[in-house]
Amino acid sequence: MPHIALIRAATQTLIDHVEELTQLDQAIGDGDHGLNMRRGALAIQAKLPEWQGKSLNETLKAMGLLCMSTIGGSSGPVFGTLLVTLAKELPARPGPADLSQAMQAGIAALTKLGKAQVGQKTLLDVLDPLQRHLGSGGNDIIARTRQCAHDAALATAAMDATRGRASFLGDRALGHVDPGSRSVALIVAAICDSLESA
């Protein structure tokens, strides 16, 4: 399936779930995550016609730079850095093992950027299990990848928040899913759904 179609599906799911992401962020953040992600998704969708002839790597890099310039708060640098890192690391036609290796580099870049670690109730808590899952390969990789992202995002509800605005809430952040983690799970699900229906 063309990567442009996957990007369109991923960005559309963020637009469609803006209210859910906003509510999650209102509970433990400053309430703007959903709107920021929608802003970035709309900006990317507006550029898709121009990117039709670009390679996957060129498109990911352009998306990352666009995220950095259009998405407010911490999400712009975070998602932008992840996309730019994936653009550097992925081959033209990546398989699960390639995705795992590139995601490992993305995790390292985000750890350096935000000084966050796995287990601190951030999107790293979805990226890390996804990276390990993709590296294991096996049958039904698409369905299992979707489930892995979903389960990992839900698991952030039981984590103590020690980074970002949620860290100021202490125990009050418990029971709430991290908005960035949910965004990653939504993106992964949209891509998996598209691949399965192709």
The model's pLDDT over 4-18, given as tens digits with 9 standing for 90+, comes to: 999 999 999 999 999
0.75 cut: is pTM over it? yes
In the chain, helix, strand, coil percent, each to 5? 75, 0, 25
Q: For the segment 130-139, what is each residue's pLDDT rounded down to a tens digit?
A: 999 999 888 8
Q: For the segment 21-77, what is each residue's pLDDT rounded down to a tens digit?
A: 999 998 877 889 999 999 999 999 999 999 999 999 999 999 999 999 999 788 999
Looking at the predicted structure, is the pLDDT value of residue 174 above 80? Answer: no
What was the pLDDT predicted at 179? 93
Spatial contact of 146 and 152, defined as CB atoms under 8 Å apart: no
| Residue 73 burial (10 A CB sphere; 0-12, 13-18, 19+) | middle
Spatial contact of 86 and 58, defined as CB atoms under 8 Å apart: no
The tokens for 168 are 């100021």
Segment 107-135 shows an average pLDDT of 93
What was the pLDDT predicted at 114? 86
CA–CA separation, 167 and 177 (whole Å): 13
Spatial contact of 47 and 62, defined as CB atoms under 8 Å apart: yes
Residues with Cβ within 8 Å of residue 49, at least 6 apart in sequence: none
What was the pLDDT predicted at 173? 53
CA–CA separation, 159 and 58 (whole Å): 36
The tokens for 81 are 């850095």
Domains along the chain with CATH numbers? 3-197 (1.25.40.340)
Looking at the predicted structure, is the pLDDT value of residue 99 above 70? Answer: yes
CA–CA separation, 171 and 162 (whole Å): 11
What was the pLDDT predicted at 172? 52
pLDDT band at 168 (very low <50, low <70, confident <90, very high): very low
Q: Which residue has the tokens 């990352």?
A: 64
Ranges assigned E (strand) in 32-160: none
